[in-house]
Homo-oligomer: A and B are copies of this chain.
């Protein structure tokens, strides 16, 4: 059976740790050696929602491993002639792509289609559901920082309900022994919380946090009338004042893109405790790990 990469929920703790370890190895291999990892593969990048980081990160990971990349350009495609997603993906399979990296607005898109494909599908963000390659790079960043995942206290701040990034962390909290605290306005709190997750106030949560994950307000996913960015920042953002409440060893994370001054104070984005751009660097190694596993089955 084809091994897809649709969510961290499908993976064991051991598999997640193995992917992270392989990503760490990739971070120290030079580019000449990297090119020999996947020299004859072709990866299709298919994004039905806007993306900078994830698309380019997968493209970079694939190219550095020696693969070719086909960027499927939605705006100039037969989707304009009414072609279905299924037929578009089947076309990429028929044409010889070895894997399809897919972002789509439908939460359950992978469940719906994955059994019909003979090449691996890789989830690059599905609706408000999982975003497992982002989850993996977040876990890589935490493990690299603290040497372990078990027992870490993670505060997630902001639009948790609409965030597939947060969703992915919550899904694997229990499996990996993470303690997750959610601080969010009422309409941003998910309906159900899984084990190892609790609600709290920012003030109660930050002093014992090892990491705080700020989330982007997903304006495109909800209707906010008369939204006041500054008021939101003061009430729910990571302000400079609140950052002072963090222990000195704690790190600041954000999946980006960032609304500077809204969910996080401008000055904190590149502060000493921030790992925001480091997360992006780690993302390339994490995606190399995913691509190698999916294409070579070496986990």
**Interfacial residues, chain A to chain B (CB-CB below 8 A):** 31-32, 35, 39-40, 42, 47, 50-53, 55-57, 59-60, 63-64, 68, 70-84, 87-88, 90-97, 216, 219-220, 256-260, 269, 277-278, 280-281, 283-284
Contacts and interface: CB of A to CB of B under 8 A. Distances in A.
Contacts of A269: 87
Given A56-B70, A77-B52, A259 B94 contact: no
B95 A50 contact: no
Nearest to A97: B60
Contact of A52 (B64, B79, B93): B79
A257 B83 contact: yes
A76 B94 contact: no
B258 A87 contact: yes
A225 B96 CA distance: 39
Contacts of A94: 277-278, 280-281
A56 B277 contact: no
Given A94-B277, A277-B91, A280-B94, A40 B51 contact: no
Contacts of A77: 50-52
Contacts of A95: 53, 56-57, 60, 280-281, 283-284
A60 B96 contact: yes
A81 B42 contact: no
A220 B64 CA distance: 39
Given A59-B70, A283-B95, A256 B87 contact: yes
A250 B198 CA distance: 63
Closest 9 CB pairs of A and B: A94-B280, A83-B257, A52-B78, A31-B40, A78-B257, A94-B277, A52-B77, A50-B80, A63-B68
A286 B40 CA distance: 20
A90 B277 contact: yes
A264 to B, nearest CB: 12
A216 B258 contact: no
A23 to B, nearest CB: 14
